[in-house]
Amino acid sequence: MMIVGTAAAIEVAIILVVVLVVLGARWWGGRGRGVFHKGQVHDLDVEPQYSGARIDGDVVTLDFVKKMMDDFKNQKCIHKRYAFQIVLQMRDMLRALPSLVDINVPHGNHFTVCGDVHGQFYDLLNIFELNGLPSDENPYLFNGDFVDRGSFSLEVILTLFAFKCMSPAAIYLARGNHESKSMNKIYGFEGEVKSKLSDTFVELFAEVFCCLPLAHVINEKVFVVHGGLFSVDGVKLSDIRAIDRFCEPPEEGLMCELLWSDPQPNPGRGPSKRGVGLSFGGDVTKRFLQENNLDLVVRSHEVKDEGYEIEHDGKLITVFSAPNYCDQMGNKGAFIRFEAPDLKPNIVTFSAVPHPDVKPMAYANNFLRMFS
pLDDT more than 70, % of the chain: 87
The predicted-structure confidence for 247-299, as pLDDT tens digits, reads as follows 999 999 999 999 999 999 999 999 999 999 999 999 999 999 999 999 999 99
* Confidence at residue 12, expressed as pLDDT on a 0 to 100 scale: 34
The larger pLDDT score, comparing residue 117 to residue 369, is at: 117
pLDDT > 70? residue 122: yes
The predicted-structure confidence for 74-96, as pLDDT tens digits, reads as follows 999 999 999 999 999 999 999 99
pLDDT band at residue 14, thresholds of 50, 70 and 90? very low
Least confident range of 41-55, 127-141, 216-230: 41-55
pTM above 0.85, yes or no: yes
* Confidence at residue 368, expressed as pLDDT on a 0 to 100 scale: 57
pLDDT > 80? residue 15: no
Of 176, 159, 109, the C-alpha closest to 139 is 109
Pick the CATH number of 48-369 from 3.20.20.70, 3.40.190.10, 3.40.50.300, 3.60.21.10: 3.60.21.10
Least confident range of 27-36, 281-290, 362-371: 27-36
Mean pLDDT of the chain: 90
pLDDT > 60? residue 26: no
* Confidence at residue 29, expressed as pLDDT on a 0 to 100 scale: 34
Task: List, in sequence order, every beta strand (DSSP E) within the chain.
Answer: 100-103, 110-114, 140-142, 171-173, 215-218, 222-225, 262-263, 269-271, 278-280, 296-299, 308-311, 316-319, 333-339, 344-350
* Confidence at residue 7, expressed as pLDDT on a 0 to 100 scale: 38
* Confidence at residue 134, expressed as pLDDT on a 0 to 100 scale: 98
pLDDT > 90? residue 35: no
The predicted-structure confidence for 306-338, as pLDDT tens digits, reads as follows 999 999 999 999 999 999 999 999 999 999 999
DSSP letter string, 36-97: S-HHHHTTSPPPTT--S----TT---HHHHHHHHHHHHTTPPPPHHHHHHHHHHHHHHHHTS
- For residues 132 and 155, what is the distance between their CA atoms, to the nearest angstrom? 18
pLDDT > 50? residue 13: no
Q: List the catalytic residues.
A: 178
Q: What is the arrangement of strands in the sheet containing 308-311, beginning at the earlier edge strand?
A: 100-103, 215-218, 222-225, 296-299, 316-319, 308-311
Q: Is 130 helix (H, G, I), strand (E, B) or coil?
A: helix
16 Cβ neighbours under 8 A, 6+ residues apart: none
The predicted-structure confidence for 233-251, as pLDDT tens digits, reads as follows 999 999 999 999 999 999 9
* Confidence at residue 311, expressed as pLDDT on a 0 to 100 scale: 98
pLDDT > 50? residue 106: yes
Spans of all domains in the chain: 48-369
* Confidence at residue 366, expressed as pLDDT on a 0 to 100 scale: 63
* Confidence at residue 44, expressed as pLDDT on a 0 to 100 scale: 86
* Confidence at residue 8, expressed as pLDDT on a 0 to 100 scale: 38
- For residues 79 and 52, what is the distance between their CA atoms, to the nearest angstrom? 7
* Confidence at residue 19, expressed as pLDDT on a 0 to 100 scale: 33
* Confidence at residue 371, expressed as pLDDT on a 0 to 100 scale: 52
- For residues 307 and 301, what is the distance between their CA atoms, to the nearest angstrom? 11
